Structure 1
Amino acid sequence: MKILHTSDWHLGRTLHGTDMHEHQRAFVDHVVELVREHAVSAVLISGDVYDRAIPAVETVQVLEDALGRLSELTTVIITPGNHDSAVRLGFGAGLMRDSVRILASVADLHRPVVLDDGAVEVAVYGLPYLDPETSRAVLVDETGERPARSHEGVIGAAMRRVRDDLASRPGVRSIVMAHAFVVGGEPSDSERDLSVGGVQSVPSGVFGGVDYVALGHLHGPQVVPVPGSATVARYSGSPLAYSFSERSHHKSTVLLELDVDGPPAVTLVDAPVPRRLTEIRGELSHVLSGETDAHLDDWVKITVTDPTYPADMHARVRARFAHVLHLTHEPVVGERVGAAPVVTEAMQPTRVAADFVEFVTAAPASEVELDVIQQAYDAVQAATARADR
């Protein structure tokens, strides 16, 4: 049986103000083609389908179109992440066609969607994002004791329920969808912190005992080892880069194949890349030179390092690069020696200002700068004298 593992679509998210709906639709087209090409039995979306709890109308329409097209070809199984509202995403789940399954209930997380292609039977358990404070009241054990107020505590309690149910299904292969920061995973700048009481991570060992863990939350595709277990756990990663910290990610979807026995077979399928992300740093002469020709069509983050602010910097850079998303001036200065100069009442104000320029730039104030300081001081003195008359 072939299953496609995805996560972190973040529908509605922008990249430094750039609308991404067009590129998110292109990813949906890609997934639809993969389902057709590989006869995929189910598409998994492990959380953060939307980027915010209350998505915009256009964003909802993108998901509606995706579910409509995919559900004609296969089964789609969705769990909410920390960006989604489980209640809003799960609304109407019981009314949807059998090929669209939204697993948003904490109380029912031990009730799987069972896939059966006639040769292999797979139980897919959906763990919605488990907020420790609210979900621990639901995940009490048989004695009525609540799990610890941490991600490890509530996910551990959820997995005990999953394993108990799985024990009653001999010969059935198993997948757990979970949205969490698992120890060993490599984060990027665009994931929202899951900290609760300083405890945000989950040891991978809590997921032992199932065949495959379809993880969501971290945006870089990666494997997470599960010590002492044959369980395969991995993050599919986000389909698109949502920050420049993800510029080196190799975005993909996970094509998972499960037979009646044996380890899951995993193939990574490249996701479409709308535009490369590139960071360019250097003096303006370098930024505007032929050395950066290869990046003219990229989304770029540019840091100009000239000692002084170049004239018409923004206009000149934007005239060359059509897709500048972030442009700043960060002058490179020499190494400062010692602490800031001490200011005394006896010091001339112009000398204080000149010392400040030298401390900030690690170079003595130029003649032009000294002249500007003197002109400013003279203007203040003249204005004060007029006011005193």
Structure 2
Amino acid sequence: MRILHTSDWHIGRAFHGHSTLDALAEVLDALVAQVRDNAVDVVIVAGDVFDSATPAASCYVLLDDALAALHETGAQVVMTSGNHDSAARLGFHSRLLRDGIHVVTDPRTVGEPITIEDADGPVRFFGVPYLEPAIVRQYWPADASGQPLRTQAQTLAHAMGLVRAGMTENPGRSVVIAHCFAAGVDATAGLEREIRQGGIDVVPVGVFDGADYVALGHIHGRQQLTERVRYAGAPLHYSFGEQHKERGSWLVDLGADGSVDARWLALPVPRRLVTLTGSFDEILSPENVAAHADDWVCAIYTDDLPQTEPMRRLRERYPFCALVQHEPAVTVAATERSYAARLRTAVTDTDRIDAFLAHVRAGQGPTSREQELIREVLDDRALAEVLV
């Protein structure tokens, strides 16, 4: 059986205030073409179909269009809910879908396989939706040993016990689909909205033992934890932290004996992401503009002082500049004296102004020209006070 493993579509997610619907539609069209060209039997979407529990109507339209196009290829679809999805809404939407599209959102069904046949017999697909311990305790008060389910690791371990029982009752090759943070992954800092508290909700990879293939979601970059346990990542870049990570899916051939042969299918990037670092003038150089005028740009300028209206000026050259940050190349190490301490020791107004400028400029006081202006202003004020 040929399976395409994808995840984390995040339909409706914005990119620094910009809609991603059109870009995602373009990428999903390419994914549908890959399904058709590679004669895929089953498409897996491992959670976070939507980015919000309350997606806009346009998000449902995009999902419906993508699923209809996948259905027309002849492939079946197995989709689970992730931590961003509303399981109730996604589950209700599933009732409106056509045959061959399976949506798993109810934790109580994790041990009940979706069976899809090929020439070598049945393949059992066990969908495990995102499991929030506080919510699923109403169904599973405790694990097999009587321990309350307090972490996602415990909860997934219990769910996989139900899955293995389902494997025993339904012999055949098996595929598990789950949405979690598995041990050993390399997450994108600041991007994957953590579903863990410290480290207690990291799920050991061994929890998934017994399945022929495990299709995971939640991490936005391609990851191979074992030959049989993988993350596909998101089909679109949603952060500058992802800019160097490929977008795509795993094309998995599941042999008659349960063997796994997986290869990566890259997806197109509608608009490249680039981070430009240097002085403001260097970032605006003709060479940079010629190379990156059509890219999403994160500009990190290293000038000593903040620029005036940097975003407006950048967008005159880079229409798709999405983020600007000021990170001075030279910073002065902070002294033990606080700003308040400097003010207490200041004697004159000039001292107070110097202390303020040093505080807001990471230790750098006024320039010589600024010192002249400060003296002129203070002299004028003193003269005015005398005249009054």
TM-score normalised per structure 1: 0.90
8 Å Cα contact 2:179/2:216 also seen in 1: yes
**Contact 1:304 / 1:330 at 8 angstroms: preserved in 2?**
yes
In structure 2, how many angstroms separate the alpha carbons of the residues matched to 1:383 and 1:107? Answer: 81
What SS class does the counterpart of residue 342 from structure 2 fall into?
coil
Is the Cα–Cα contact under 8 Å of residues 147 and 154 in structure 1 kept in the other structure? no
Cα 1:116–1:382 change in 2 (3 A) is farther
Say yes or no: does 1:301 pair with 2:298.
Answer: yes
Residue type of the alignment partner of 2:326? H
Pair 235,362 (structure 1): closer, same or farther in 2 beyond 3 Å: same
Match of residue 136 from structure 2: 135
* 1:268 equivalent in alignment to 2:264: yes
What CA distance in whole angstroms lies between the structure 1 residues aligned with 2:122 and 2:275? 47
Superposed displacement of residue 242, structure 1 = 0.4
Mapping of residues 165-184 of structure 1, within 5 Å: 165-170=166-171, 172-184=172-184
Residue-pair matches, total: 381
What's the counterpart of residue 369 of structure 1?
A: 370
Change in CA separation of 1:95 and 1:351 when aligned onto 2, cut-off 3 Å: closer
Among the aligned pairs, what percent are the same residue?
36
Which residue is 2:325 aligned to? 328
**Distance change >3 Å, CA 197–CA 317, structure 1 → 2:** closer
Structure 1 equivalent of residue 8 of structure 2: 8
Change (3 A) 1:109 1:299: same
Tell me how far 1:354 sits from its aligned partner.
1.0
Q: 1:118 to 1:306 in 2, by over 3 A?
A: same
AA aligned opposite 2:243: R
1:217-236 superposed matches below 5 A: 217-225=218-226, 232-236=228-232
Report deviation, 1:223.
0.7
Q: Say if 1:310 and 1:87 are closer, same or farther in 2 by CA, change over 3 A.
A: closer
**Residues 143 and 158 in structure 2, CA contact (< 8 A), matched pair in contact too:** no
Aligned to 1:228: none
8 Å CA contact retained: 1:136, 1:146: no
Q: Deviation of residue 348 (structure 1)?
A: 1.0
CA 1:58–1:94 in structure 2 vs 1: closer, same or farther (change >3 Å)?
closer
TM-score where L is the length of structure 2: 0.90
Q: How does 1:215-294 map to 2 (within 5 A)?
A: 215-225=216-226, 232-292=228-288, 293-294=290-291
Moved >6 Å (runs of 4+): 141-144, 378-386
Q: Does 1:354 align with 2:354?
A: yes
Query: Which runs of no fewer than 5 residues in structure 2 stay unpaired?
Result: none
Any gaps of 5 or more consecutive residues in structure 1? 226-230
Name whichever of 306-315 and 320-329 sits farther off: 306-315
Q: CA deviation at 1:308?
A: 2.6
Local SS of the residue matching 1:45: strand
2 CA distance for matches of 1:383 and 1:120? 96
Deviation at 1:103, TM superposition (A): 0.7
